[in-house]
Amino acid sequence: MARGIDLPETVPLFPLPGAVLMPRTRLPLQIFEPRYLQMVEDVLKTPSRLIGMIQPAEGGLDALAQVGCAGRIVAFSELDDGRLMISLKARSRFRLNEVQPGFTPYLRGQVNWSGYETDLAVQPEEDPRFERKGFMARLGRYMEQRSLSTDWDAAEASEAETLVNSLSMLLPFAPEEKQALLEAPTLAKRRVLLEGLLEYALHGGDNEETIQ
């Protein structure tokens, strides 16, 4: 499987709690720390233009999650104050083998792309058992409970994968919950987990808020 140019053995790592990149989505980022400004400058000089989004993990100052997702820089602009606005287009999830020592101010990881071949497919992943009406009703109750808003017309018209993956990224779940969504091996399993998180928030996780 010739994927070496697109998917290198090592990628720069951007640890960011609560931020995950899901297959076939885009993630806008504002870059302002000097080490990550340097990272973007270096990445733009590479053929793949990949940045590995990964969450910090419990277990120490430098601990990282085992699974992240690499995105290709597809747009960037520089603001007057030196900050960069970039957009990452998801390429593939990866498993982090090890953080490599080096002279860059940012981390680099040796990664394994095996097991995430579906992320590279052009066509969206399907979920034959997705029941949109019930899902949207549950989502509506969750959004109302939290006084959140969304473009309901766009949500109704979107494909199942786009809807589930975008919500997994955007909804205010805990970092460990977002990590579990990222690691779900298929769209169907991610959707089931997402529905469970919505149900928990509606019936189990909000009891204290209701009392207050």
Listed in sequence order, the DSSP H helices in the chain are 34-43, 132-145, 152-157, 160-170, 175-183, 187-199, 207-211
The answer to whether the pTM exceeds 0.85 is: yes
pLDDT value of position 61: 56
pLDDT value of position 60: 60
Yes or no: say if 186 and 125 are a contact pair by the CB < 8 Å rule.
yes
pLDDT value of position 212: 32
Calculate the alpha carbon distances from 171 to 9, 116, 145 in Å.
31, 24, 13
CATH level 2 (architecture), domain 10-118: Roll (2.30)
Q: How far from each other are the two terminal CA atoms of the chain, in whole angstroms?
A: 56
For 80-135, how does the pLDDT look when each residue is reduced to its tens digit (9 = 90+)? 898 999 999 999 999 999 999 888 999 999 999 999 999 999 899 999 999 999 99
Query: What distance in Å separates the CA atoms of residue 165 and residue 170, rounded to the nearest whole number?
Result: 9
Yes or no: say if 100 and 80 are a contact pair by the CB < 8 Å rule.
no
Write down the domain spans for the chain.
10-118, 132-211
Residues whose CB falls within 8 Å of the CB of residue 89, separated by 6 or more in sequence, listed in order:
25, 26, 71, 72, 74
Question: Which stretches in the chain have pLDDT values below 70?
Answer: 1-5, 59-61, 205-212
Report which DSSP code applies to 175.
Answer: H
